[in-house]
Structure 1
Amino acid sequence: MDVNILIVEDEKDIADLLEVYLKNDGYVVYKFHSGTEALKKIEQMEFDLAILDVMLPDIDGFKLCSKIREQFFYPIIMLTAKVEDTDKITGLTIGADDYITKPFNPLEVMARVKTQLRRYKRYNEKSQASVKERAEYDIRGLVINKETHTCTLYGEELTLTPMEFSILWHLCEYQGKVVSSEQLFEEIWGEKFLDNNNTVMAHIARLREKLKEPVRKPRFIKTVWGVGYKIE
């Protein structure tokens, strides 16, 4: 089955380079140099992964990412020449799954693409694996439903990225038990966890913001220092 990848990059040399590497690995590539052109294609078909440049001549990558997240849950990798943490946080907040700073090694981009596609495929397989699997958790007003991919807090729908949804669902599956950062990372991202990896911490922080968690006494996601996280 074809794997369709969207590239939106206004620098032609970079877009062409990514296209060559992706096609060499057997992916079907749809390449655009402006957000407006890409948006038309996004509305016509569903992709398996998108690579979006932040700085585009018309619609910036953040707006394009938000537009995709209104309908689709496939992985989004952001490209940027900037290195500010605020840009990275913005991208992750609106639904990006990964972030790569220019200049980059094309082989690193390919590794990130494969990782995100594995995670997305594994998530979809788990979602469709068995009707007997539990489809919903209701924890003191926090309701998360895997079949509809929705999450509400006291009746108000929360906008979660696919990563945030996966993390929250995983914690709910282990309700009352501590889940280590290593377990979360290797289960959700599908990669080997490194000691200096703060990815899980950053996503937990964003989840807590969306859950309007009190800083000192969070109601849902508890930190067990030196061990991991749990939902009681």
Structure 2
Amino acid sequence: MNQKHLLVVDDHQDIRDLLKEYLQQHGYRVSLAKDGVEMRAKMAEASFDLVVLDLMMPGEDGLSLCRFVREMDGPPVIMLTAMSEDADLVVGLEMGADDYVTKPFTPRVLLARIKAVLRRSAGGGSHEPVAVEPNRLSFANWSLNVPLRQLERDDGLVVALSNSEFTLLQVLLKHPQEVMSRDQLLTLTKGREAEPFDRSVDNQVSRLRKKIEQNPQFPNLIKTVWGGGYLFTATVSSTRVDL
């Protein structure tokens, strides 16, 4: 059986090492690069069946590197992206990325995406991205329209969200009925920009409550867990709607 050769490009050594060990256990040959310079050198030395590419890196970023791979008619690309990088992700997909995985992720999820992209590639499919995530998240009497980045109530009311409010709500909707600490929420919403003792999450939660709670003073949807963080209590359903 032909062993597929993968190139993992990420500036975090712990992520590179973890993915190499995990993917090798599942039968892949794996090479690593910490930045664009190493990636270009590796691709000049060997051929790869797929590239796992971090979107945000110091030096040459993932957008430029994805363009480089497409211009050289290179292998499929799966982008790794933080949830706060939505705009750059759209550009990456338009540049020809085949799929994406949102950080934080489990290696098992990435493995499934790798297998799917390799199957499409082997079948002669194009590099056009395939939608893999729902674009509408519904809860209580609300739904979050992800592409339009707006909140819609069942009676037709549309509520505008700031970028930070949208990102925080999306994180909460992806982790329903799960206690999320402030540090977790900061990491998922701000990524590398998060700073110790940053209290902006509390302010964003307060603003969100004013928009989605019947009584923000006694919230039912976003509950405070004293000493722990926040808990989104509602059941969330995910759907894909053609826009």
Residue 92 of structure 1 is matched in structure 2 by: 93
Determine which of 97, 106, 127 is the counterpart of 1:162: 127
Count of matched residue pairs: 137
Whole-angstrom distance in 1 between the partners of 2:41 and 2:74: 18
Q: Any conservation in 1 of the 2:81–2:89 contact (CA below 8 Å)?
A: no
Residue 21 of structure 1 is matched in structure 2 by: 22
Pairwise CA distance, 1:46: 2.3
Q: Residue type matched to 2:53 in 1?
A: L
TM-score normalized with structure 1 length: 0.53
Percent of residue pairs bearing the same amino acid type: 42
Q: Any conservation in 2 of the 1:6–1:50 contact (CA below 8 Å)?
A: yes
- The secondary structure found in structure 2 opposite 1:110 is helix
| Unaligned stretches of 5+ residues in structure 1 | 125-160, 165-184, 203-227
Deviations 1:109-142 (A, max 9, x none): 0000000011101117xxxxxxxxxxxxxxxxxx
Pairwise CA distance, 1:43: 2.5
Pairwise CA distance, 1:75: 1.3
Q: Residue type matched to 1:162 in 2?
A: H
Q: Residue type matched to 2:127 in 1?
A: P
Whole-angstrom distance in 2 between the partners of 1:31 and 1:65: 16
Whole-angstrom distance in 1 between the partners of 2:85 and 2:33: 25
Residue 116 of structure 2 is matched in structure 1 by: 115
Residue 39 of structure 1 is matched in structure 2 by: 40
Q: Residue type matched to 2:69 in 1?
A: I
Pairwise CA distance, 1:73: 4.2
CA RMSD of aligned residues (A): 2.5
| Unaligned stretches of 5+ residues in structure 2 | 137-146, 148-241
Residue 139 of structure 2 is matched in structure 1 by: none
Whole-angstrom distance in 1 between the partners of 2:58 and 2:90: 22
Residue 62 of structure 2 is matched in structure 1 by: 61
Q: Residue type matched to 2:94 in 1?
A: T
Whole-angstrom distance in 2 between the partners of 1:73 and 1:39: 12
Q: Residue type matched to 1:5 in 2?
A: L
Pairwise CA distance, 1:82: 3.7
Residue 128 of structure 1 is matched in structure 2 by: none
- Higher-Rg structure is 2
Deviations 1:49-74 (A, max 9, x none): 00001122221111111111111242
Q: Any conservation in 1 of the 2:8–2:32 contact (CA below 8 Å)?
A: yes
Q: Residue type matched to 2:124 in 1?
A: Y
Q: Residue type matched to 1:76 in 2?
A: V
Residue 102 of structure 1 is matched in structure 2 by: 103
Q: Aligned pair in 2 of structure 1 residues 32, 73: CA closer, same or farther (>3 Å)?
A: closer
Runs of 4 or more, structure 1, over 4 Å off, are: none
TM-score normalized with structure 2 length: 0.51
Q: Any conservation in 2 of the 1:73–1:162 contact (CA below 8 Å)?
A: no
Q: Residue type matched to 2:95 in 1?
A: I
Whole-angstrom distance in 2 between the partners of 1:53 and 1:85: 13
- The secondary structure found in structure 2 opposite 1:51 is strand
Q: Any conservation in 1 of the 2:63–2:88 contact (CA below 8 Å)?
A: no
Residue 141 of structure 1 is matched in structure 2 by: none
Q: Any conservation in 2 of the 1:34–1:57 contact (CA below 8 Å)?
A: yes
- The secondary structure found in structure 2 opposite 1:58 is coil
- The secondary structure found in structure 2 opposite 1:163 is coil
Whole-angstrom distance in 1 between the partners of 2:11 and 2:83: 15
Whole-angstrom distance in 1 between the partners of 2:37 and 2:112: 28
